[in-house]
Amino acid sequence: MGPGPINAYPRVLQAMSNQLIGQYDPVMTGYMQQVQQLYRGVFNTSNEATLLIDGTARAGIEAVLVSALKPGDKVLIPVIGRFGHLLCEIAYRVGAEIRTIEVEWGEVCDPALIEKEIKAFQPKMLATVQGDTSTTMNQPLAEIGEICSRYGVLFYCDATASVGGNALKVDEWYLDAVSVGLQKCLGGPSGSAPITLSDGFVNEISKRRHIELGLRTEQHSAGSEPMIRSNYFDLPMILDYWGEERLNHHTEATTMLYAARECARLFLEEGENAVLDRHEVAGQAMAQGLETMGLKLFGNQKYKMNNVVGVYIPQHIDGEAIRSELLNLFGIEIGTSFGPLHGKIWRIGTMGYNARQEAVLSTLAALEAVLVKHKAAINTGVGVQAAMTCYAAHFQAQSVLAK
């Protein structure tokens, strides 16, 4: 029950024990096409360029940034938490010129501020995080997308922590590039990074297209702009590998592709609305349970992600001792925190397979028991009840809707 990675869905685990298939076997290339189509569903997009990067979520981030940004290109980055810093860090190494908009941790960035900075800085790209687990905030994107589209700025978003538990409408919100991971609400393991790229973004990076030495023939046309600084993260090459010609690049990570495929199938079978609802009620029940217990929540609750909540560690309580007893006595892991929040808040996740009533209720019950053991000043016997009430109201509303 941490901020991710989390327990995987049993069907995802099962999928990963399937025997491998050769990368050019028609069954495998068929699976690759299925994965592209499935993630168009997850991302709410019709982008042809929808595929997997073989690596953890930050591999997807680096692939987007290193392919789009040449040394000297300008990028504007709102920093709402640790993962905003990560975008800066990666963009810096790519050689980009960076301007940041720093936002107090626990808040999100005002679109008006973004418009102002776009006018002043005239960036090639705006790069932002949607859900930043370090602060539990979920940055609204629709307005920012509209602004970027109006000013002709490429709009990239890292939605690793939010995808599958919070709305993400790539086409409707004018997103040009989105990268995610499986290990949060999609209920899979870390190690595969689905991405989607708009046609405009693909046009842009195609200027740097290049065919690998030893695979090049005279039919292959190269782009006019400088080569991308990474081979592994060269998106035009990766597009050629996933495309019709299936030009060899890496050897696709077969098992991780099985996992990614199963995560998306589960999401689409349950249905986007049902999955988001399930995350929303789990998040609400967890938050209300904690508050009713007398604990204080962190950050602007209006913008909290559905799938993770920050909660202040009560005074005079050793946060790490509580975490360790939860793990050792109950087998439940909750998260510590980074940077300015380190030692001040815990982060509790309700995502993917763990966005279930039983997981929420048992976590609240276990946390209460451990806090009582440590003589924390909390309200006993009411936290779990509040979460149950929250779920009951949700199920009733659902059954009314069904009639």
- Which residues would be at the binding site for a copy of itself (CB under 8 A)? 2, 4-8, 13-14, 16-20, 22-23, 25, 54-59, 62, 66, 82, 85-86, 88-90, 92-95, 134, 181, 183, 189-191, 212-215, 227-233, 248, 250-256, 259, 327, 333, 338-339
Q: State the pairing for strand pair 154-158/125-129.
A: parallel
Closest to a copy of itself by CB, 23 or 300: 23
Cβ 142 to a copy of itself shortest distance, Å: 27
Q: 187: which DSSP letter?
A: -
* Tokens 């689409």, located at residue: 268
Closest to a copy of itself by CB, 40 or 85: 85
Closest to a copy of itself by CB, 86 or 361: 86
CA dist 285 and 273 (Å) reads: 18
Closest to a copy of itself by CB, 16 or 142: 16
**Cα 347–chain centre separation:** 16
Cβ 315 to a copy of itself shortest distance, Å: 24
Cβ 354 to a copy of itself shortest distance, Å: 11
CA dist 285 and 347 (Å) reads: 15
Cβ 60 to a copy of itself shortest distance, Å: 10
User: Is the previous residue joined to 236 through a cis bond, with omega within 30 degrees of 0?
Assistant: no
Cβ 229 to a copy of itself shortest distance, Å: 5
Q: What's the Cα-to-Cα distance from 83 to each of 80, 129, 237, 334, rounded to whole Å?
A: 8, 7, 27, 19
To 10 degrees, the CA torsion angle through 126, 128, 130, 131? -170
Closest to a copy of itself by CB, 62 or 240: 62
Q: How many CB atoms lie within 10 A of CB 24?
A: 10
CA dist 58 and 339 (Å) reads: 19
CA dist 309 and 287 (Å) reads: 7
Cβ 81 to a copy of itself shortest distance, Å: 8
Cβ 295 to a copy of itself shortest distance, Å: 22
Cβ 400 to a copy of itself shortest distance, Å: 36
Closest to a copy of itself by CB, 123 or 335: 335
Cβ 85 to a copy of itself shortest distance, Å: 4
CA dist 302 and 292 (Å) reads: 18
Closest to a copy of itself by CB, 36 or 160: 160
Q: Per DSSP, which regions of 223-366 are E strands?
A: 308-312, 345-349
CA dist 109 and 102 (Å) reads: 8
Closest to a copy of itself by CB, 7 or 149: 7
Closest to a copy of itself by CB, 49 or 326: 326
CA dist 384 and 291 (Å) reads: 11
- Provide the terminal-to-terminal Cα distance of the chain, rounded to the nearest Å: 34
Closest to a copy of itself by CB, 25 or 172: 25
Cβ 274 to a copy of itself shortest distance, Å: 23
**In the structure encoding, which two tokens stand for residue 60, read together?**
């997807």
Residue 43 contacts by C-beta under 8 Å, 6 or more apart in sequence? 50, 163, 168, 170, 178, 194, 196
